[in-house]
Structure 1
């Protein structure tokens, strides 16, 4: 770039309302910048400039005189002071598509939760039936005498002896 060595830039009193900071960022050697005397627009389209001024205030010879010309509620405020305000103001409104997105996401989350709860209920009922059926089979085997020929694991043997000791 041909302006890489530019150290001082003064665009004061040129009736500027906006300035693209990309051109300023392309000047790495810039040490001083004059912006005063311009009716700067402190609206969302100039948010980047205002934030950049806030962050790089050491480069301004006349930062105290670099003020907003519009809108009316910000008139006279220094550009460096409104940078943070603009960040908040310009990014706080939501469009109708944003609200539609939130509603859709909420519905999807609700539906997923409902389906998950229903599935867990079905699994629990099926498991309960399985356990009940298994217990009935064990009781039938005990009554028919078939269980005497099959080896019983230690834990089941102990639990059966406890059951019979309470009955007698």
Structure 2
């Protein structure tokens, strides 16, 4: 009888231990890795203010704490959240990874956390988040993303939250932020610190993320203001009509037309000078007789000069050749040479 009572008490103690919270405090111990000597039935594990990087070795150890409901990894040296970083923590409800150096969050980083309700990613260096990063978190109710480097965040309308914190990010008022704005205004979510949750307009003015006038067809609005000045002037003056085939065809036609005009303007003077530089033609039969008469008149002897013999007439033809150094602008024709040879 005594043995049965002792056995009953022992089982009662085990049941109580199983259902009560078992906390393990490993904070501020300068740990680089998660220790293997921890009690694996722990339900609350605090590893904050250490030097843990959450590499493959740490992920393997974490997977052994199947009863964890709360995990605190804030103030560590985590830089990347790889896929399946918490793959075996099916009972985890609260996860705090704030105040790290996280810049990259892979798409399936939180896979398997079906019971997760509170996720804190604040005070990190996250630049971009995939729209499907939180899809598997069906029980998520509180998401803290404040003070990261997010400029936009695509979110699906089916995402159910009670509270979200987005302040302290450099949001850009562009069409990339439109679905988040619609979700914030149409859902029942509470935007904490709403007055400080602002986005930046192209003129560098800050406005509430819920009040910004964002146009769905504003195709160039997603370009950061500091990069917009690098676009050519004619692109700035074009209407914002989107990336349609008509718009692309118009731009292509404009470029080809301009190129053709420039090519024509450069090449036309060369063709013109080539055409007017050649004026020669073959002498026709009638032209040769007329030229013979004119040449005979030129070959008539000139009056004799006093003091010279009449036997030595001065021929104009010879005088012309004596002054050959002076160019008269005419080109010698082969028909003239033939005629002179025949006369001689």
* TM-score using structure 2 length: 0.24
Larger Rg over CA atoms: 2
Q: Counting helix residues as a fraction of each chain, which structure ranks higher?
A: 1
Higher RCO structure (Cα 8 Å, ≥6 apart): 1
